[in-house]
Amino acid sequence: MEFSWPWEYDFPPFFTLQPNLDTQKKQLEAWRKLVIDYCRHNKIFVLDVQESMPLFQNKTIDRQLSSEGIKRVLEILQENQQIEWCDKSKKQCFVYWKTPQEWGNLIYRYIIDKGMTNTVCTFYELTEGDDVKNEEFAGLDKSILLKALETLEASNKAEVIMFGGSEGVKFF
């Protein structure tokens, strides 16, 4: 299904940071929502800030958000805990259209439904296996998966184990 862009995306001044601070606040909020919706729709887990992509650039009207603008949008997302920088260089960030906690709960519910507690699954099975390809967490980025499992570990619902070079998890 095609992503349906909001009206702002066709509105040329949307790509220029607005001088009126009230208007700018609304503008950044619209951007925040757009980033999240876009990433959710395209299943983007890690956003590369330097990569050129349609999200921040509308070729039809020949407008693109400046790097300053992108920085501001990401700041808002970070304040909302909807992104997290992958490292200090701030070139890539995890996008949390679901929080690690939410991913954890989703995976745990799936495990319970399938009666798979007390068995060990590999990370690969959990996110790339045939059985899960219709689940929302199919294709989940490994780093986010690990964060999600850590939230489950914290409530004693899972334990991450390493065996013979591969990684797995046991659910309780």
Partner 1 sequence: MRKRPGIGAIHKQRVEQERFRGKATELQDNVFEQMANQMEKFRTNLETFASKHRNEIKKNPTFRKQFQEMCASIGVDPLASSKGFWSELLGVGDFYYEIAVQVIEVCMATSQRNGGLITLGELRQKLIKARGKAQHHQNISNDDIIRAIKKLKVLGSGFSIISLKDTQDSSDVLIRSIPGELNADHTEVLKIAEAQAFTTIETLKCKLKWDDVRCQQILNELIRDGVAWVDGQSTTKTYWFPSFFKPLINEG
Residues engaged in binding partner 1 (CB under 8 A): 7, 10-16, 18-20, 22-23, 26-27, 62-64
Spatial CA neighbour of 54 closest among 67, 73, 35: 35
Q: Between the CA of residue 62 and those of 11, 59, 71, 163, what are the distances in Å?
A: 11, 5, 20, 52
Which CB atom, from 59 or from 88, has the smaller least distance to partner 1? 59
Amino acid at 82: Q
Q: How far is the CB of 26 from partner 1 (least distance, A)?
A: 6
Asked if residue 123 lies in contact with residue 171, where contact means CB atoms within 8 angstroms, the answer is: no
Q: Of the two residues 19 and 115, which places its CB atom closer to partner 1 in the complex?
A: 19
Q: Smallest distance, Å, CB 80 to partner 1? A: 18
Identify the three-state secondary structure at position 158.
strand
CB of 85 to partner 1, least distance (A): 28
Which of 20, 118 has the CB closer to partner 1?
20
Give percent helix, percent strand, percent coil of the chain, each to the nearest 5. 45, 15, 35
| Residue 16 or 166 having the CB closest to partner 1 | 16
CB of 13 to partner 1, least distance (A): 4
